[in-house]
Amino acid sequence: MKAFVVDKYGKKGTLRLAEVPEPDLQDNDVLVAIHAAGVNLLDIKIRDGEFKPILPYRAPFILGHDVAGIVVRVGSKVRRFKPGDEVYARPRDGRVGTFAQSIAMNEADVALKPKNLSMEEAASVPLVGLTAWQVLVEKANLKKGQKVFIQAGSGGVGTFAIQLAKHLGATVATTASAASTDLAKSLGADIVVDYKKDDFEKVLQGYDVVLNSQDAKTLEKSLHVLKPGGRLISISGPPDPEFASEKGLNVVLKLVLRLLSHGIRRRAKRAGVGYSFLFMRAQGDQLGKITSLMESGVIRPVVDRIFPFEQTNEALAYVETGRAKGKVVIKVR
């Protein structure tokens, strides 16, 4: 089969289109013929080597974290899926590789594709959908009547998280450029701060939850919009000791992450708020709940551009510009 491979880590490196063996099928796996794959900033960060200490993929390896396709074969212990099923997933860490013509995934990571979505639309959902779900539902336990600030409202996570937060009954604030304000409002944002003109920390106050996806400066400023007892949850770092424990990292890495997050944890404590880091994980059951929300029209995918499979490197370069509204998708077949 054809696949886009990382031969060596490096900033702005180019993936190589290669002929590789079809993946091995384990007892709990489904083999999926890939129709579409979503592109994420995580792909770029892994290609660049930023996650090498915690996700040590050995080159050459296939990149890609979002998939929609059709089940071709199933392992002997698979009970939830059968050949012919249309599915989507974010395969678990260590077994990624959706920039390819097929992938084998543990059935626990997979869900049936929403019937009302195309393959390309479905492929745009898993990573950002699960990220939003795990931040807002699992970690923040966001409730009706609470206030949440979701940064970068026109980005992949932002477009999904705004809709999910509105469904949960929260008041939603976000940041966006003037050109993206209408999009953010159409998704349900109550307050849209033009980040090129206004400083969000001077406009927003008394928030219960912040979903931080930006840089360290923005993370620091986010503390000031929370009320005492509020939660600052970051998906862009720095990782905290709890994450190190969950990942089972070695003593040295645990110490490094403790030191990296020491400053923000100390300042959060002083402000009377909680800080935590979230690195989303594969979870087919949660994706099944997201399927229900998509099929009932509560949440709609936002797809900016679809690239042909041959232009996977161009798709990554476009995501890297930071100009995409919603998600970028690769059409594999």
CATH no. for residue 263? 3.40.50.720
Q: How long a stretch of residues is the chain?
A: 333
Do residue 197 and residue 109 come from a single domain? no
pTM for this model (two decimals): 0.98
pLDDT at 1: 98
Do residue 112 and residue 163 come from a single domain? no
pLDDT (tens digit per residue) in 282-325: 999 999 999 999 999 999 999 999 999 999 999 999 999 999 99
Q: What is the share, in percent, of the chain residues with pLDDT greater than 90?
A: 97
pLDDT (tens digit per residue) in 222-238: 999 999 999 999 999 99
Both structure tokens of 246? 């969950």
Do residue 113 and residue 210 come from a single domain? no
Q: Is residue 153 part of a domain?
A: yes
Do residue 181 and residue 250 come from a single domain? yes
Tell me the residue range of the domain where 30 lies. Answer: 2-124+301-331
DSSP 100: B
Do residue 112 and residue 139 come from a single domain? no
Q: How many domains does the chain have?
A: 2
Q: Are 47 and 316 in contact (CB under 8 A)?
A: yes
Q: At what angle do helices 41-48 and 312-320 cross, to 10 degrees?
A: 100
Do residue 133 and residue 97 come from a single domain? no
